[in-house]
Amino acid sequence: MAKSLLYPRVMIKLSGEALMGGAEYGIDTETLAQIADDVVAAAKLGAQVCLVVGGGNIFRGISGAAKGMDRATADYMGMLATVMNAIGLQNALEAKGLSTRVQSAIPMNAVCEPYIRRRAVRHLEKGRVVIFAAGTGNPFFTTDTAAALRAVEMNCDAIIKATKVDGVYSADPRKDPAAKRFNRLNYLDVLSKDLKVMDASAISLARENNIPILVSSMLDKGGLSAVLTGKGLFTIVDNGITA
């Protein structure tokens, strides 16, 4: 079954805000269940799936720093928020019968495994979904960078950036009806045009290791499986020509 997949092993990057649904804070259980359904469907196709989730629905380090907190302290608080989201996502996936592991870059053995690369790879090979929490374990690095770093370490075939729109646009399509949608972008185009796909460190890591970034909507039911089989609507960021 996995032979039909264009991207057999993928890293999914979810923002913490994506877990809020229509709420202003925290985790919306219906949204969490929908995301879990899509991951389960992808796993049934034979995909090996790992995820990195942000913590912005609970606490954003950079926002805390902007309000006068020490940046490193605020970033560590944000990392802990990602662990809460990872455990919530784990619960939603396992409620649907999917075996998972949460690995944290900050060791907290009472609630999850510490990040160990070889163990994480083995989990994927056994069909388990691996959720990486606490970013890189270092302040001043975003969860975008963590997703790209773990994708390289896991030898992923692609990074899927799950958003609220079906690709990358020249402007916010929800605010500007004239915004142009891109089918394909070069890594350097993303950086030079400041398109906010992922942060510059993440884009550079993906480019150096030739891992495509697929930007797609997390709102479309079954969208993840469609992207993995090349049938979905998404923008691909790679070394190709802008289209």
Expressed as residue numbers, the domain containing 8 is 2-238
What pLDDT does residue 171 have?
85
Residue 172: inside a domain, yes or no?
yes
Grade residue 243 by pLDDT with cuts at 50, 70 and 90: low
With pLDDT > 90 as the criterion, what percentage of the chain qualifies?
74
Confidence (pLDDT) at 1: 42
Position 243 in a domain: no
Whole-number average pLDDT of the chain: 92
pTM for the model stands at 0.93
d(CA 5, CA 46): 8
Residue 157's pLDDT is 97
Query: 7 in helix, strand or coil?
Result: coil
pLDDT at residue 162, as a whole number? 92
Strand partners, 49: 10
Residue reference for tokens 């890293």 = 11
Predicted local distance difference test score (pLDDT) of residue 220: 80
CATH number at residue 67: 3.40.1160.10
Over range 35-60, report the average pLDDT: 94
> Which two structure tokens, joined as six digits, stand for 214?
């697929």
Over the stretch 88-105, which tens digit does the pLDDT of each residue have?
999 999 999 999 999 999
Q: Answer positive or negative: Cα dihedral of 8, 11, 14, 16.
A: positive
Higher pLDDT, 153 or 166: 153
> How crowded is residue 102: how many other Cβ atoms within 10 Å of its Cβ?
22
DSSP label at residue 167: S
Number of domains, the chain: 1
Residues 186-231 pLDDT 10s = 999 999 988 889 999 999 999 999 999 999 988 888 889 999 998 8
- Is residue 164 helix, strand or coil? coil
